[in-house]
Amino acid sequence: MESSGAGERPAERHAAAEAAPGHGAGGVDLDTRLTGALERVGHAIRVALWQQAKEHGLSPVQVQLLQRLSTDPPERRRVGQLAAELDVTQPTISDAVAALRRKALVTSSPSPGDARVQLLDLTDRGRDIARASAAWADDVGAELARIGTPVKVDALGLLLDVIRGLHERGVLSVARTCTTCRFFRRSGDEGPGAVHRCALLDAPLPPSDLRVDCLEHEPVAA
Ligand code: SF4
């Protein structure tokens, strides 16, 4: 079936695909269904971020910055690094940081290693708002709590493989997952019956323990 127009939204394209003949009993292939489901979850997360931003008088990118500054180690709290983490331009981050400074939520100090580089940090009030605005994840967490562990373990593996692929395609600038790490030894590479391993920690990595944002992560050499 042909697309119905240039202004068609993704959800509408998927609805059209659902109705398309010749795609099996469900009318659409599994990959298209999964892509549509991911788009819906992504949309729900954007809505939750918007709600938190509105509640605290911030923009969504300002909320994301507060979240990152509340969890990232000091060496990552630089404008350039944060721009890469959030896949936005450096001027976008600079503008957001300037707004957060005016609201007295963010401060900065010279990096110990290079005084030309400013490292950002939260003020006490910024930390309070970061904690409160983390509520954007509450609804997703509540839904996940209702699902059994084996299903979630499979979903984690699937999503980490998708993240790896998107990182390799250049869609995601930064990924610190086990699946993109040079220390990751996938079970399938080590023979039958083997388990995933972390060569850095020299320890097994059960599928439920695969990391999404590991501090020790090092990318696979290009
Ligand atoms: S260093 Fe971290 S990201 Fe890399 S394989 Fe080990 S646990 Fe995973």
Which pLDDT tens digit goes with each residue over 172-191?
A: 999 999 999 999 999 876 66
Statement: 9-146 belongs to CATH 3.20.20.390: no
**Probe ligand 1: pick from 156, 212, 216, max atoms within 8 Å of CB?**
216
Give dist(CA 101, CA 94) in Å, integer. Answer: 10
Q: Which two tokens stand for residue 68?
A: 């990152």
Phi, psi of 175 (to 5 degrees): -145, 120
Return the ligand 1 atom nearest residue 209 CA. Answer: 7
Q: Which pLDDT band holds residue 26 (cuts at 50, 70, 90)?
A: low
pLDDT at residue 202 in the model: 95
Count the Cβ atoms, other than its own, within 10 Å of residue 81: 19
Assessment of whether the complete model's pTM goes beyond 0.75: yes
In tens, the pLDDT along 193-215 reads: 678 999 999 999 999 999 999 99
Evaluate: CB of 209 within 6 angstroms of ligand 1: no
| Averaged pLDDT, 95-100 | 97
The whole-chain average pLDDT of the chain stands at 88
What is the DSSP secondary-structure string of 37-74?
HHHHHHHHHHHHHHHHHHHTT--HHHHHHHHHHHHS-G
Does ligand 1 have an atom closer than 6 angstroms to the CB of 184? yes
| 155 vs 6: which has the higher pLDDT | 155
In the chain, % of residues over pLDDT 90: 78
pLDDT for 42-86, tens place per residue? 999 999 999 999 999 999 999 999 999 999 999 899 999 999 999
Contacts of 197 (CB under 8 A, 6+ apart): 184, 185, 187, 190, 203, 204, 205
CB-ligand 1 contact for 203 (6 Å cutoff)? no
Asked whether the beta carbons of 218 and 183 are under 8 A apart, the reply is: yes
Domain range summary for the chain, segments of one domain joined by +: 9-146, 148-209
Q: Kindly give, in sequence order, each residue whose CB lies less than 8 Å from that of residue 96, ignoring residues fewer than 6 positions away.
A: 59, 61, 62, 65
Q: Is the CB of 178 under 6 A from ligand 1?
A: yes
pLDDT at 59: 95
Ligand 1: atom nearest CA of 215 is 2
Q: Band of the pLDDT at 4, cuts 50, 70, 90?
A: very low
Is the pLDDT assigned to residue 25 strictly greater than 80?
A: no
Question: What's the angle, vertex CA 8, arms to CA 24 and CA 63, rounded to 5?
Answer: 105
